[in-house]
Structure 1
Amino acid sequence: MNSKLFHKILTEFMRDYKENVYRLAYSYVKHPQNAMDVVQDAIQKALTKSDSLTKPESIKSWFYRIVVNTALDYLRRAKKLVPVADEVLEQQGVNDHDVIQDLHLSETLEELPMMYREVIILRFFEDMKLEDVALVLNIPLSTVKSRLYQALKILRINMKQEETY
C-alpha cells in the first residue's frame, strides 16, 4: 500500500475512532496525559509500520494491537499502575446508585489480572468480535474464549459477594 493511501486510511480511522483508541489506552495506563502519550506513540509506530497493514479493512484490529503493545511497553517502563484520577471518578454517572455500581464494576475490573481485563475491555468496552480480540492480543481464539469465560466468572462472583455486604 502506498504511503499516501495509508495516511488517508489512518487519518479517517483516527477521526472515527479517536475516543475508542484513547479509552483503550486509558484502560491500561489509568492517567489522561499518559493515555494521550500512548496514543501519540502508537500513531507514530503505525506510521513507521505502514507496510505491515496488508488489508485496509483490518485497520481497527491492526491499530488496536499497536495501542495495546504501546501501553504495555509504557507500563513496563513505568513499572507501576497509576490509580484512576479523582476528577475522572467525579464525572461518572448521574445518580448515586449508578455511580456506586459503576465504581464497583471499575474496582472489580481493576482486580482482574491483566490477561482477563484486556479481553473484557476489548470485547465489551470496545465492542470487538472475539476473532478481532485474538488478533489484537496476538493469542489464539480459544485462549480469548477461555479468558473471557474465566473473567466473567470472576466478575460474577465478585459482584455477588459485594451485593451481600
Structure 2
Amino acid sequence: MKNHIKEQALVQLIIENKENFYRLAFSYVKNKDDALDIVQESIHKALLSIGNLKEEQKLKSWFYRIVVNKSLDFLRKHRRVNVMDDTILELYSNGNYDDYQNIDLERCLDDLPEKFRTVIVLRYFEDLKIEEIAEILKENQNTVKTRLYKALSMLRIQLEQTKLLKER
C-alpha cells in the first residue's frame, strides 16, 4: 500500500477516534493539556513512520500503541505528582452530593503498575478486544488475559482496603 493511501487511512482513523485517543492519553497523565500534547506527538510520529506500517488492518492497534508509548514516555520523563484541577473535580461532581467511589477507583487504578493499568484502560475504558490489546502491546493473548485477571484482582483488593480504611 502506498504511503499516501496509508496517510489518508490514518487521518480518517484519527478523526473518527480522536476522543478515544485523547481519553487514553488523559487516563495516564491526568492533565488535559499534556494529553493533547501526547496525542499531537503521536500523530506526528505516526505520520513520520507511516511507511513502516506493513498491514493497513493493523493501523488502529499500531496507532494505539504509539499513544500508549508516548504516554508512558511522558510519565517517565515528567515523574511528578499530578494535582487535580477544577475540570477533573467537576467530572466527579453532579452538584447534589459527593460520590467518592469513582475517585477511589481512579486512585487505585493509578497505583497499579503500568502493565496492569494499561490492560484495564484499554479493555474497559477503550472497550478494545483482547486480540486488539495483545496487538497493541505486542504480547500474547494469554499474557493479556492473565494480566487483566491479575489487574482486576489487584484492583478489587485495593478497593476493599480503601473501603475498610474509610469505615474506621
Q: What TM-score does the superposition give when structure 2 sets the normalisation length? A: 0.88
| Pair 1:129 & 2:135 matched | no
8 A Cα contact 1:26 1:32, kept in partner: yes
- Aligned equivalent of 1:68: 68
TM superposition shift of 1:81: 4.8
Name which of structure 1's ranges 7-16 and 52-61 shifts more when overlaid on structure 2.
52-61
Give 5+ residue unaligned stretches, structure 1: none
Aligned to 1:39: 39
Equivalent residue letter for 1:96: Y
**Corresponding residue SS for 2:100:** helix
Report % sequence identity: 42
SS of the residue aligned with 2:69? helix
Deviations, residues 45-84 of structure 1 (Å, cap 9, x unaligned): 1001112222222221110001111112222222335344
CA separation of 1:87 and 1:116: change in aligned 2, threshold 3 A: same
**Which structure 2 segments of 5+ residues have no match?**
none
The residue number in structure 1 matching 2:107 is 107
Once the two structures are superposed, what CA deviation does each residue of 1:11-69 show, in whole Å capped at 9, x if it has no partner? 11111100000011111122111111111110011001112222222221110001111
Tell me how far apart the structure 1 counterparts of residues 83 and 137 of structure 2 sit (CA, whole Å): 24
Structure 1 counterpart of 2:70, one-letter code:
T
Change (3 A) 1:151 1:45: same
1:139 to 2:139 alignment: yes
Once the two structures are overlaid, the 10-residue window that deviates more, 85-94 or 125-134, is 85-94
What is the distance in 2 between the residues matched to 1:120 and 1:150?
A: 10
Say what the alpha-carbon RMSD is for the aligned residues.
1.8
Question: Structure 1 stretches (4+) deviating beyond 6 angstroms?
Answer: none
Q: CA 1:89–1:144 in structure 2 vs 1: closer, same or farther (change >3 Å)?
A: same
Kindly tell me the number of residue pairs found equivalent between the two proteins: 164
Aligned partner of 1:160 in structure 2 is: 160
Alpha-carbon distance between aligned partners in 1 of 2:140 and 2:81, rounded to the nearest angstrom: 27
- The equivalences for 1:43-58 within 5 A come to 43-58=43-58
- For residue 89 of structure 1, report the CA deviation from its aligned partner: 2.0
